[in-house]
Amino acid sequence: MQTAFEKARKGLELNGKFAYGAMPSSIADSWKRCIRHGLDPISKPEECVVSHTDLQQRRNKLDLVMRLARPELELLSAQIAGPNFLLAFADSDGVILDRIVDNEFSQSNCGKSIIPGSIWSEEIRGTNALGLALHSGVPCNVTGPEHFFSNEGRVSCLSAPIFDSGGELIGLIDASSEVTVRQYHTLALVNLAAQNVENRLFVDDHRGHHIIQFHPRQEYLHTQNVAMIAFNQDGAITGANRRTSELLTGLKLTSTPKFEDVFMGQFRSLIGRICRGEVVQIKDWLHSGYFARLRLTHSVKASLSKTQFFLPADPIYHLRQATESSTSGRIFKDEALRHNLRLGKKSAQQGLPVMILGEKGTGKNTIAEEMHEQLHASQHFIMVDCSTVDETSVESQLIAQMKSKSESGELAPDKIDLNKGGTLYLDRIDQLPPDIAPMLNTLLNRVMQRRNPLLGDGEWVILSSAHTDEIKTASKGPLGPLIKRLSGFSLFLPKLNHRSDFQHVCNAMLRSISPQHALSNCAIDALRKSSSIDNLSDLDWSSRTLASQHHEGIIRAEGVTRILGHHEFDIVACPRCTGQMAKEVQCLEIRKMIRECTGNVALAARQLGVARNTVYAHSID
């Protein structure tokens, strides 16, 4: 005896008519749209693939999203039990940009169709999870014969949309398989993966703002299910993730530009407590209560340094007045670093330009500021970001400012007095556009005319910086003569984990962030060996993460591994489980949950329904 759905399916294939109530309304509506598009359910769907050039352009446009989505696809491939599956990422037009597929599924008809560049919108491929999620904007699953085309009746697919911080759908994550028993479990995992990408995009878009996480239950503040809302310094709302609108049902964020329009209380008093690391309780105007905390980002805190970076429009340099100072928080106890700094200072005093070389985040700008402070802190410090300059901005906004006198004989208020001297710092000279080199040479001619054997009043110190590897390539091109002119003395900076004062840097950085915390020697060794810490920026981020998520007191190596380990994109099984398939699957599931719970072992254990000791055994290597 046929079921109602089977009768509806038969009616669709015979005469294009079916009983609407025999299936979920979303599938029935999709079938109706496919019929209106003129698709034939018993024919073979059209194989539409964009050109290679178009595919590359689409990938470049969504480069950041793809870099965030790829680790989620890899994690999903480890979480989905059994073989015969395909995972894909598509853009907002339904074009597949990336995929992970096992050998078995890749040989199937569907596996041969879901390839990079293929289009899976509903009007082309009929009812499928990706096209349905694209149309509806919600997670969808389409099982076997629910597909519009009959030749796709053996495949089950699930898809979840990804929205940017402005609420626009920008991509989708899709999972397809010929196994139907695991679809509901997989849909939850796919939806969580999409949510992870959304949250990271939101944080990236609002790094310069205060991001507040909130949830009715405090233990959920460390999960990806948390609501996030961003504010500027004045308390104006600059963005909110999807979970925020779900929790604040009945409140329209689009018409409420201020914190006080959504929540009770004053923004400034609340943000002061949150920025100190407190978890506070807040209420919205519908009297719903939430726990809230600050989401830490990689944004540069203004209080750490007064040197600023500007885009070419206005201006391409930063002029720090002689009364300003930025000497706090610098540590130079490493013997090699102190030696190089001493030689760099002597070279600058003799009139030689100094080029500061090092990898990203090794402290090139900090060294430039330190040399300026030691040589003549009372003069101007002019910093030029060579990666952002263009011909117009250099000529009109830098060279034109460096005039000795105006026509009347008086120095104009917006001019830099060449006769007073100072420090000219060309940051990332290896990224300077070649057509700007002659103009900078003209500028150097003005400021490199030494009159005294040693540095004195009215003299200029010329500093520059570059990445160690990239300067080799740049020096062989059009920038070669300029780079040679600036390489009077090369001041090399050691890698962070090679510095003998690594312990002092770690302790000082954490002490400035949270005096209530301290690092054990083993914890510092763990930080030195961490694969996620390559430079000072990474160390700063890790220190802030530890301060916000570890209880006050001494942080030990176990705490570093537990808290920072869950931030790794690539999750691997612990050494005890590696090589044993069944144990590896369980270990990966536990480690993924630990990451989702931000290292909270007790919470992860409750989520998985296992003992805390079991979770703890897999949380450390």
Is the backbone peptide bond immediately before 45 cis, with ω within 30 degrees of 0? no
Question: Of residues 38 and 615, which shows the higher confidence score?
Answer: 38
Based on the fold, state whether residues 399 and 350 are members of the same structural domain.
yes
Based on the fold, state whether residues 322 and 428 are members of the same structural domain.
yes
Q: Residue 382's pLDDT is what?
A: 84
The DSSP line for 111-165 is HHHS-TTBB--HHHH-S-HHHHHHHHSS-EEEEGGGSSSGGGTT-EEEEEEEE-T
Q: What is the mean pLDDT of residues 449-478?
A: 80
Neighbours of 149 (CB within 10 A): 18
Q: What is the mean pLDDT of residues 535-539?
A: 82
Checking if the pLDDT of 329 tops 90, the result is no
pLDDT above 90 as % of the chain: 25
Q: Residue 316's pLDDT is what?
A: 44
**What totals of helices (H) and strands (E) does the chain contain, helices first?**
24, 18
The parent domain of residue 194 ranges over: 7-204
> Contact 194/162 with Cβ under 8 angstroms?
yes
Instruction: Bin 207: left if φ > 0, else alpha if -120 < ψ < 50, else beta.
Output: alpha
Checking if the pLDDT of 42 tops 80, the result is yes
Question: Whose CA is closest to 572, among 152, 235, 190, 75?
Answer: 75
DSSP-H helix ranges across 306-465: 335-349, 364-376, 391-397, 437-447
Helix (H) or strand (E) holding 619: helix 612-619
Q: What's the mean pLDDT when you consider all of the chain?
A: 81
Question: Of residues 464 and 584, which shows the higher confidence score?
Answer: 464
4 pLDDT band (50/70/90 cuts)?
Answer: very high
Last residue of a domain, one of 169, 204, 239: 204
The DSSP line for 454-523 is S--TT-EEEEEEEEHHHHHHHHTTTTHHHHHHH-SEEEE---GGG-TTHHHHHHHHHHHH-TTEEE-HHH
Strands 227-231 and 140-143: unpaired
* 111-152 residue pLDDT tens: 889 999 999 999 999 999 999 999 999 999 999 899 999 988
pTM for the complete prediction? 0.49
Question: Whose CA is closest to 588, among 577, 600, 602?
Answer: 577
Based on the fold, state whether residues 454 and 518 are members of the same structural domain.
no
Question: Whose CA is closest to 186, among 76, 327, 277?
Answer: 76
How far is 78 from 57, CA to CA, in rounded Å? 30
* 344-356 residue pLDDT tens: 998 888 889 999 9
Q: Residue 303's pLDDT is what?
A: 34
Based on the fold, state whether residues 379 and 435 are members of the same structural domain.
yes
> Contact 290/214 with Cβ under 8 angstroms?
yes
Checking if the pLDDT of 398 tops 90, the result is no
Q: What is the mean pLDDT of residues 396-417?
A: 54
Report if residue 379 sits inside a domain.
yes
Any idea which of 301-315, 370-384, 566-580 has the lowest mean pLDDT?
301-315
Question: Of residues 545 and 256, which shows the higher confidence score?
Answer: 545
Q: What is the mean pLDDT of residues 397-416?
A: 53
Report if residue 66 sits inside a domain.
yes
Report if residue 1 sits inside a domain.
no
> Contact 127/161 with Cβ under 8 angstroms?
no
Q: Residue 621's pLDDT is what?
A: 57
Neighbours of 50 (CB within 10 A): 17
Degrees (nearest 5) of the Cα angle 534, 540, 542? 75
Q: Residue 359's pLDDT is what?
A: 85
Q: Residue 393's pLDDT is what?
A: 62
Based on the fold, state whether residues 281 and 331 are members of the same structural domain.
no
Report if residue 300 sits inside a domain.
no
Based on the fold, state whether residues 196 and 216 are members of the same structural domain.
no
Q: Residue 287's pLDDT is what?
A: 86
Checking if the pLDDT of 182 tops 60, the result is no
Last residue of a domain, one of 494, 514, 546: 494
Report if residue 508 sits inside a domain.
yes
Report if residue 2 sits inside a domain.
no
Based on the fold, state whether residues 380 and 525 are members of the same structural domain.
no
Based on the fold, state whether residues 148 and 216 are members of the same structural domain.
no
Last residue of a domain, one of 494, 517, 551: 494
How far is 239 from 83, CA to CA, in rounded Å? 40
Q: Residue 500's pLDDT is what?
A: 86
pLDDT above 70 as % of the chain: 84
* 45-55 residue pLDDT tens: 888 999 999 99
Checking if the pLDDT of 254 tops 50, the result is yes
Report if residue 116 sits inside a domain.
yes
> Contact 502/496 with Cβ under 8 angstroms?
yes
Can you read off the two tokens belonging to residue 173? 């994550």
Q: Which amino acid is at 294?
A: L
* 293-303 residue pLDDT tens: 988 654 434 33
Based on the fold, state whether residues 41 and 188 are members of the same structural domain.
yes
40 pLDDT band (50/70/90 cuts)?
Answer: very high
Q: What is the mean pLDDT of residues 405-422?
A: 59
Q: Residue 456's pLDDT is what?
A: 67
Based on the fold, state whether residues 410 and 316 are members of the same structural domain.
yes
Q: Which amino acid is at 171?
A: G
Report if residue 333 sits inside a domain.
yes
Based on the fold, state whether residues 120 and 227 are members of the same structural domain.
no
Where is mean pLDDT largest: 36-50, 326-340, 432-446, 530-544? 36-50
CA distances from 607 to 243, 412, 600, 601, 610 (A): 19, 67, 11, 10, 8
* 340-394 residue pLDDT tens: 888 999 888 888 999 999 888 788 888 998 898 888 778 888 888 887 777 666 6
Based on the fold, state whether residues 443 and 311 are members of the same structural domain.
yes
Question: Per the structure, how many domains does the chain have?
Answer: 4
Checking if the pLDDT of 397 tops 50, the result is yes
Q: Which residues contact 201 (CB under 8 A, 6 or more apart)?
A: 64, 65, 68, 162, 164, 165
473 pLDDT band (50/70/90 cuts)?
Answer: confident
